[in-house]
Amino acid sequence: MSRLWKWYQNCLRDHPVKTQVVSSGLIWAVGDVAAQTVTHTTAKRHKLEDENKELKINWRRVATTSLFGFGFVGPVGHYWYEGLDRLIRLRFQMHPNSSRFVASKVAIDGFIFGPLDLLVFFTYMGFSTGKSVPQIKEDVKRDFIPAFIFEGAIWPIVQVANFRYIPVRYQLLYVNTFCLLDSCFLSWIEQQEDAPWKKWLSSLVPLNDKKGHGE
């Protein structure tokens, strides 16, 4: 295990972007396999599928989700965390690891990168399955709010520990570790489609796109 960690450190030092891209792609692939497994198991438990039906992994979907890790999470995440640290330290001149420093990072990350990540993920997954723009808009309306509510309750806690205790060069590795669960969660959310609980959560934040009715 120590050899693997040393090898990763060397890769991160010599090829930081490539290392983050590859590790992110692999992590999101594993997360999607886990999401499909959870969805299958849950469906069998609630008798929504035949109990004798075996799990068949949709490898095309795994590859599609993995590409999101390769193409977005890895490169964008690398530059985001590096840039965010420089912005707070140099532009705002805050002392590293201070309460204001950590709180500012968590706030900016939660209100900018968090929603962007969700929006890109659901839009990308829609296009990758051949859906039209109107269909993707409906999917985003259906999936974004539930995902944002759940992630908004968890990620700030994760990021407080990240920005307070983890050196900058290892922050994306820390995030990627939790992204294994996050990718599983987002894939599971996307697979739930029109589940009643998602409609209920979305109704808590009404999107007034029906202005023309009754006018």
pTM: 0.78
Give the lowest-confidence range in 7-11, 59-63, 71-75, 180-184: 180-184
Cβ neighbors of 7 (< 8 A, separation 6 or more) are none
pLDDT above 60 for 167: yes
Give yes or no for a contact between 156 and 106, defined as CB atoms under 8 angstroms apart.
Answer: yes
Tens digits of residue pLDDT in 23-39: 989 988 888 888 888 77
Round to whole Å and give the CA distance between 19 and 78: 10
Structure tokens, 63: 């590859």
Cβ neighbors of 94 (< 8 A, separation 6 or more) are 88, 100, 101, 104
pLDDT band at 7 (very low <50, low <70, confident <90, very high): very high
Give the residue with greater pLDDT, 44 vs 130: 130
Give the residue with greater pLDDT, 204 vs 105: 105
